[in-house]
A = this chain, B = another copy of it.
Amino acid sequence: MLNVVVIGLGTISEMHVSAYEQNPNVHLYGVCDVNEERAERVADEYSVKHVFTDAGDVFNDANVQAVSICTWNKTHAQLAIQALEAGLNVLVEKPLAMSVEEAEQIQEAERTSKAMLQVGYVRRFSSNAQVLKQFIDRGDLGEVYYAKASYIRRVGNPGGWFADRELSGGGPLIDLGVHLIDLCWYMMDRPAVQSVAGHSYHRLGNRSNIKNLSFYKAADYESAKNSVEDLANGLVTFKNGASMQFDVSYSLHAKEDEVHIKLYGTKGGAELEPELIIVTESENTILNIQPQMDHPNFHFQSAFQNQIDGFVSAVLNEEVSPAPVEDGIELLKIIEKIYE
């Protein structure tokens, strides 16, 4: 059994808590939030015994073996390093850190720790991504030399700490783009980056004036506060000659919200979103292949369960993390170049 504490009890932490609950090898030892009332409420709901309001206390508790860090992006690095130094295994929500520099400090901490760290690239664990990875790994797409991805929201800046560059490190690029870029890069077999061209725009603000369309808002949403970009795009060139195009937005005068992820290889191609489809060629015929799945697109709940299960299994079996710290660093290098 692995004793786990979840630190930072905002919206996303619910997914961690409930997935740990479902894992038979985990004992949800405690929950931690600076807001004690919130911590108590969660502890009540899930019948968790230990309530912490200071992460330091978590790290000092000898019974704890692993933590999920679900706090603002700004505190990821500091908490992850402390946890690793305390010998605790860490699942940290994406992005790994606010900068490459911070991320490398985490990497250093992990190198000298007996514990490991996993980055919260939950989309890698969605069943559509896992099925596609199997087909790519056995060579059905050949070498993937081009990818493109979009995550477009017309009015979807969550506000609160998401919209405060100081706390989040950025807007849609770091919140949504990190998923897209990671997924493509992961499917391309993690090629080394050669150069990055890209832009981030602050043209439309958060469009909080828009009425009659609902969207996710952070608990601390304030319409007047926003310091993050509303659009970012980029073209990443890899050392092996492959390239990747993407764009992500919180605010854009687009026709509709949209997510798509497309990959093109020498022997086949694929769309991961909005619905997994694999394209290959056989007997001189083009084949469009639809894997038959309950969820052919990203499914939050099952993907989270898979992610937590993967983390727990890697810790208990002392395996390599399925989303190691290196992958977090590489992504931040791309993102930093866009923000420059």
Contacts and interface: CB of A to CB of B under 8 A. Distances in A.
Given A283-B134, A289-B287, A291-B286, A262 B254 contact: yes
Given A131-B212, A146-B233, A293-B213, A267 B253 contact: yes
Given A245-B235, A255-B279, A286-B155, A294 B212 contact: yes
B289 A293 contact: no
Contacts of A214: 294
A234 interface: yes
Q: Max chain B CB contacts within 10 Å: which of A155, A212, A241, A245? A: A212
Work out how many copies of this chain go into the complex: 6
Contacts of A148: 233, 247
Contacts of A253: 141, 264-265, 267-269, 279-281
A54 B47 CA distance: 38
A150 B288 CA distance: 20
Contacts of A138: 283
A145 B203 contact: yes
11 contacts: A131-B283, A135-B283, A197-B235, A199-B237, A210-B284, A210-B286, A211-B285, A213-B294, A255-B269, A285-B293, A289-B289
A252 interface: yes
Given A131-B212, A154-B286, A210-B284, A277 B255 contact: yes
Contacts of A293: 212-213, 285
Interface of A: 127, 131, 134-135, 138, 141, 145-146, 148, 154-155, 195, 197-199, 201, 203-204, 207, 209-214, 231, 233-235, 237, 241, 243, 245, 247, 252-255, 262, 264-269, 271, 277-295
A252 B269 CA distance: 8
Contact of A264 (B241, B254, B282): B254
A61 to B, nearest CB: 38
